[in-house]
Amino acid sequence: MTNTIIEPFKIKSVEPISFTTREYRQKALREAHYNLFLLRADDVLIDLLTDSGTAAMSSRQWAAIMDGDESYAGSRSFFKFEKVVKDLTRFNFVIPTHQGRAAEKILFTVVGGRGKVIPSNTHFDTTRANVEFSGAAAVDLPVPSALETDKRSDFKGDIDLNRLKDLIRKVGAANIPLCILTVTNNSVGGQPVSMRNIRETSALLNKHGIPLFLDACRFAENAFFIKLREPGYKDKSVHDIAQEMFSYADGCTMSAKKDALVNIGGFLALNDAAIAEKSRSLLIMTEGFPTYGGLAGRDLDAMAQGLEEVLDEDYLKYRIRSVEYFGDKLEKAGVPVLVPTGGHAVFLDAKRFLPHVPAHQYPGQAIAVEVYLEGGIRSVEIGSVMFGRETDGEFVGAGLELVRLAIPRRVYTQSHIDYAAEAIIEVFKRRERIPGYRITYEPPYLRHFTAHFEPVVKETTPG
Ligand code: P61
């Protein structure tokens, strides 16, 4: 019997990647002010910055692209896309958008506003930004195990139902227009939410007349984890599991750039006719006519095809296992990683990796810089650069200091992953010589994208 789980595809078209020398990368880092967002992608060998919009489309998706109908109104591509989304989610109204945050912006403009409170297992940063921009408050209620990076647990993505109950009691159901569950829960490490948690959240909210929405951008990965880990689901198809997840909800937002396997796209789907009506009016103002929503007809066709392909269990088995393989390899070498490995990324725990670098010297940033220098690999800091603040000269760190290595879908092979693991292990071996960083420039908002850094001990430049 064979045990190796292989890529369930063969490669028809390839894209070269660029090899650079260490000296070149050293210079590129200096020119980018040690901020990996400011590198040119051509200077990156293996790009693990994000799994969003970076998937390789299949030959069938490319064929669907050619079949796209670019009619302004009533496009055939829309009806194909709408049917796939309705069959999967059973929601009555399907509104395409150019990406996930556009769906969030429209939804929270309609239901948010001053005095409103939106609870979640954890809001992703664009979701939080859109909730807060509407004037509402975004409240994260993850389960306590979500913050313990070194402890294994099957469903660390769950929402804490006791805290949700308390919140409803405190602010009143009338002030909670909806609750949103992010599946999988990106901000705590791509951890899945259990079916039980979705069902119980829905039951609790139902008692108070509060709708449940899913932030569904990684719904298929979440459904596969349920199949693997939750009692009673091992013999169910992932398609049926996904349908059951949606059956407890009243609507969803989706960034199709993840589990719909496309490079651009998203949607809002829901049952409430009044909210759908208001959403369509906003859609026309910023995104476009309701049968294209800021996309080309061909994008809708590619999404429709991707939403079906992502539920292929051979694909999901390979996907989840290949991310876990990366995490296991690092863990075996003693590198501190968040466990268990999530669905779309491996997260390094920078506090344990660099205990000599304090939070205000950004240990996650320091590791991300070294990993690029070592192997040309781009990752992203998710810690005090992204979430830390200086309030009245006081530094307030993020709870977790992480480095995310997100795996684009169907893009890299096992040898790319082996190479990336080797580079990280090399960095780990010389961890004691790695300096912290200070910020030399930052913009007023979302500083991680454009901030400038320099190593704290100038004479020990990285490497
Ligand atoms: C990512 F650094 N995620 O993980 P849009 N919900 C969830 C997401 O993960 C998500 C969106 C909604 C990204 C891209 C990204 O500051 C950043 O289609 C759970 O990107 O609008 C996106 O979907 C938004 C990375 C976004 C960032 C914003 O890499």
From the CA of 257, give the closest atom in ligand 1: 18
Closest Cα to atom 28, ligand 1: which residue? Answer: 126
- Give me the mean pLDDT over the 257-277 stretch: 98
Query: Ligand 1 test: best mutation among 36, 185, 217, most atoms within 8 Å of CB?
Result: 217
373 — pLDDT class (breaks 50, 70, 90): very high
Give the β-pairing of 402-406 and 380-382.
antiparallel
Is the beta carbon of 186 within 6 A of some atom in ligand 1?
yes
Is the beta carbon of 222 within 6 A of some atom in ligand 1?
no
pLDDT tens-place string over residues 213-237? 999 999 999 999 999 999 999 999 9
Query: Ligand 1 test: best mutation among 128, 255, 263, 347, most atoms within 8 Å of CB?
Result: 255
Q: Among 66-70, 309-313, 391-395, which is the least confidently predicted range?
A: 391-395
Is the beta carbon of 197 within 6 A of some atom in ligand 1?
no
Check pLDDT > 80 for residue 458: no
Query: Ligand 1 test: best mutation among 101, 126, 213, 447, most atoms within 8 Å of CB?
Result: 126
Is the beta carbon of 407 within 6 A of some atom in ligand 1?
no
pLDDT tens-place string over residues 296-309? 999 999 999 999 99
Taking the C-alpha atoms of residue 136 and residue 275, their distance in angstroms, rounded to an integer, is 17
What is the pTM (predicted TM-score) of this model?
Answer: 0.96
Check pLDDT > 80 for residue 445: no
Q: What are the chain's domains?
A: 22-51+313-455 (3.90.1150.10), 59-309 (3.40.640.10)
Is the beta carbon of 101 within 6 A of some atom in ligand 1?
yes
Q: What angle do CA 95, 193, 84 make, to 5 degrees?
A: 30
Cα distances from 326 to residues 75, 366, 404, in angstroms, run: 42, 21, 12
Give the β-pairing of 389-391 and 437-441.
unpaired
